[in-house]
Structures are given as structure tokens and as C-alpha cells.
Amino acid sequence: MSKIRLSGSNSGYVEIAAAADAGNLTFTMPTTGTALFGNGNNVISGITTYNAALDINSSIDVSGASVFNNDVTFDGATAGYDVVWDRSDNQLEFGDNTKLSFGASSDLQIFHDGNFNKIQATSNLLIGDSSNNLITMYPANGGVNLLYTGGHQKLATTLHGVNITGICTATSFSGDGSNLTGLNTPLSFRNKIINGDFTIHQRGGTIASSSGNYTLDRWRTYRTGDSSGGFSVQQSLSSYPQTNISGVIDNFKASAFITVTSAGSAAVNNNCKFQQRIEGSNVYDLAFGTAVAKKVTVSFYVKCSLTGDFGVALVNGAHNRSNVQTYTINNATTWERKVLTFDGDTSGSWEYGTGIGLQLMFDMGSGSDKHTSSLNTWVSGEKHGTSSSVKLIHTNGATIQFAGVQLESGDTATPFEHRSFGDELARCQRYYELIVERDEGSNAKENCIGLFWGDGSNSFTWVKFHQKKRTQPTLEISNYTNAFRFYGSGGGVNASTMSANTLHRDGMLLEQSGNAGTAGFTRVFVTNNGLKALVAASAEL
């Protein structure tokens, strides 16, 4: 077939239209020297196939979808600075130093310089979501910040290190901490509870619950309005939580063991609790009663013969503000770890001196007047639990044990703060100090209190306390008749009446009435009549 040559006048164009039943219209061009062109717009509709290279030396204006079935190269002005759509790799490939640029002034650039992957910004860089969970970088001062929801800054880099706002929780720390400031030892002085591991028990034995009875040091029972019910508290050294409870590894030597000795009734005014009163000066940092009141977290180990929900509360010293939460015993007679976070109280009246600042109360069974349905909410009055809280006092023989009780500032429970026996004893002695106690039965043992001197009518001795008391203490003394005995140059005589002639926060003057005594060394000891002798100074809250 011969070739077809088309030529048109300068004033128009030549149009070739395919027959209605024809297929594609194909133009076969000579290899060189011939071009297909038009003086104006060339309009091509339908499918156009080019079997050789299409070389366009000017701009191309394409409207509608364009499909490229093979590699496409965007050639940079500098050799190697190209962008290639690599069909076989299914990826858009940027050469070294070829930049992805954003903004009218190239404000943000992303590229690889041959050694490093770089994100460069001339203004503040924010990486985050619509809730303002952000990482921010500030080129002007070199700072990098990490923000929490709502734009709350939690971490910021500085020239000298990192500033953290809030609690920093880590599984471990490296280094000896010698350059840390504001800390004596890592993780120290967090627990507001004294004797939270129940290792100190100066009073000894099993103590029955009553209105305001102190049992293990710093722990108090209170039972009123339910005369038929009662429980006892003792120190247990045989059953206590050890490892891997709720994922926490810990060990304890002792626990508080509580037993219901007689079942109570459901009287409205029931008020049975196991509690610790915390001195106001020890909770000053919590800022309760102010707009910046802090959250506090209570954690503890518990084992109970009953299952269900139990009440626990924080109460102020005036007993007119309280916050109740519940914890659940899932399995009877099994140690479980519980963690409860309480909101801080931004109102109310709070003691920050030597009086009662904050009380932690474990509900043993309370009446409806001590119930609230508003959990983790500060309400008026003293509340201990809810209407559905288990009333331990209603089940004769029911038992509950506590160990590792901790109350700390913040919304995170940290590992229990184990303190040495000596440190814990010293803290307890600020409130109660046992001067002498002997219960030897038929085996009489001597216990020297101090040097006594006589004034012709009575004999005296000065007792220096190991710890200065919270306030002026009261003297606790029992079974002094025949249990105490004085020895001097005139021989031994039984004590008849012993009292505190003078009481101070750092010591007291003991007086033995009706016995002139003699000068020199005089000792006090327990006779073999089986009586228990006790002398103590109490400054309990």
C-alpha cells in the first residue's frame, strides 16, 4: 500500500475521521525527517498508542486520569538528583539529597544526604495527633518537648539535661546516684504510713477491738454502736505475702491478723474499723484543702476468709470530709495486692501541725450513716464504705490480714518502701515508747530503769526517752504493786504506788510514793509472782 500525504492550508486544518465501524486509526511515520504537527491545538480523542519514544520538547497539558505502565523518571537539574517511580519495586525512589519539600519557603524538608536521614524545619516541628499528644521541637532554642493529651508538657530537653514534669517510673536506674539532688536515697520517704509492714509491736499479744484501742504500733481499732460484735488484732509472723502477687515481687516478715470474735448486728450506728492516723506535718506536701491538692495512691496486700467488695476511706482529722473507694477480694484465703488512687481534696479543713492530718480507714462493717454511693469523691461527713460493702463484723470467726500498706503522693503505686527495724521503731516511738515490760512468770528477771534517789518520803528516777514525743505524753503503767520492786542499801521493798512526777516530750520523772528509798544504785525488776509489769509513755494521735 502506498503512503498517504496530508497537507492543509494555513487557514484551517485537515481532519481524518475513521469510519463508524472501523477500529483505531494508525499513523506510521517515517523514521526520520517527518513530523506530525499542527499549528494550533491537536485534539486526539479515544485511545492513542505510540510504539516508539514520544519526545516532547515543550510543555504538555493533560486533563483527566493518566496511567503510566512502566518506570517514570523525574530528572533533576543536577546529575543524580532524580526521583524515579520504580514499577518493579512498587516505590517512589528519591536519590541522595533529592528533597521532599513542604511550605512556600521550603519550611519542611525530608531527605537522605548520603549518610543520614534528615527532617529539617525552619519553624517549630510538631508530631502528634488531633488530641495534642505531641512531640515538639523548637529550632530557635534547640529544645525538644514531649506533651500529653491537652498540651500538658511532661518532658523537655535543656542545655544541661532533661526536665520531667510528674512522676518518673522506671524498672531500674543506672549509676550510683551521687549527683542526684533533693534525694537522700532512691525511692525513700514515700510512704506516709508508719509500720505499714507491721513489724513493730511494742504492746505485744492479742488486743481486742474497742473504741480507740491501739494494737500494733500506729494502728488503731475503733468499734462503737455495735455492742454485740467484736474483733481482735494480733501480729502474725507465719502467714504473709511473698513473691509474684499481681505481678509485684515483694517479701514481708509480718502481717496484721484480724479475727471476728463475736458477730455483730446491722445497727445503723455501727462503726467498726482498722485505721491509722497520720500526723498533719507528715501530709503537708499533699496540699489538701487547696486548689493544687495532689492525688494519693494507697496500695496493700490483703487476705480474707470472705469474698466481695470491701470499703476503704481517707478521712480528715476533723471527721467532716471523707473519700471512699472499694476493693474486691476475688479468692478467699489468698493473698492479693490492691491499688487505689484517690483524688486530692481541694476544699475542707485540714490539719498540718502535730494533730491528726489524714486517716486511712479499713471498714470492718459500718452502718448506713457511714455509707456513700459516690466513690473517689470527697463528701461531707465521715464515710467508710458503701451499702454493698462486706461487713466482716457480721460473720463470727471471719478473718482478714493486711501487709505492706503504703500511702504515697501521686497516681502511681511504687514498690513498698522497706525500712529497717530500727528506723521503723524510732518512727513509732515518737507516739508510743515502751520503757519496761516484763512477763516472766515464775522466772524472775531484773530490769533496771535508772538510778533512784530519796527525799526522805519518796524515791525518784529520771527516764530519758529514746525519741522526742509528738506532744507531752501520758504515763501508762500497770501491775506496779508487787510486780515492781526497789532495791537499795536498806534491802528490797515492793512498789506500792508509782506515778509520773513530771512529764516532758523528751523524758519523765518517775516517783515511788511511800518509800523514802536510799541513796545509791536502785533497781526495778519483776518479782516471781507472775505479774506483768509495764511502764510506757504515750503521745498517740
91-94 β-sheet, strand order: 72-74, 83-86, 91-94
The pLDDT of residue 37: 54
Please give the Cα distance from 388 to 205 (Å, whole number): 33
Please give the Cα distance from 229 to 209 (Å, whole number): 10
213-214 β-sheet, strand order: 213-214, 220-224, 271-279, 356-366, 308-316, 321-329, 378-380
In three-state form (DSSP H/G/I as H, E/B as E, the rest C), the secondary structure along 451-495 is CCEECCCCEEEEEECCCCCCCCCEEEEECCCCCEEEEECCEEEEC
The pLDDT of residue 63: 77
The pLDDT of residue 491: 57
DSSP 8-state secondary structure symbol assigned to residue 55: -
pLDDT tens digit at each of 541 positions of the chain: 444 555 555 555 555 555 555 555 555 555 555 555 555 556 666 666 666 667 777 777 777 788 888 888 888 888 888 888 999 889 998 989 999 899 888 888 999 998 889 888 887 777 777 766 666 666 556 677 777 776 677 888 877 788 888 778 777 776 655 565 554 444 678 999 999 999 999 998 899 988 889 999 999 999 886 556 889 999 999 766 665 566 565 788 899 999 999 998 756 777 899 999 999 999 999 999 999 999 999 999 999 999 999 999 999 999 999 999 999 999 999 999 999 999 999 999 999 999 999 999 999 998 899 999 999 999 999 999 999 999 999 999 999 999 999 999 999 998 899 999 999 999 999 999 998 776 655 455 555 666 666 666 677 778 899 999 999 999 988 766 655 666 555 556 666 677 888 999 999 988 876 655 555 445 555 444 556 677 899 999 9
Q: Is the pTM value of this prediction over 0.95?
A: no
Greatest CA separation found in the chain?
A: 155
Neighbouring CB atoms inside 10 A of 364's CB total: 33
- Residue owning grid cell 526536665: 163
Do 239 and 276 form a contact (C-beta atoms < 8 A)? no
Domains of the chain, first to last: 207-426 (2.60.120.260), 430-538 (no CATH)
Q: How far, in Å, are 12, 326, 526 from residue 193 at the CA level?
A: 101, 19, 35
All cell numbers assigned to 442:
515464775
Burial (0-12, 13-18, 19+ Cβ within 10 Å), 447: middle
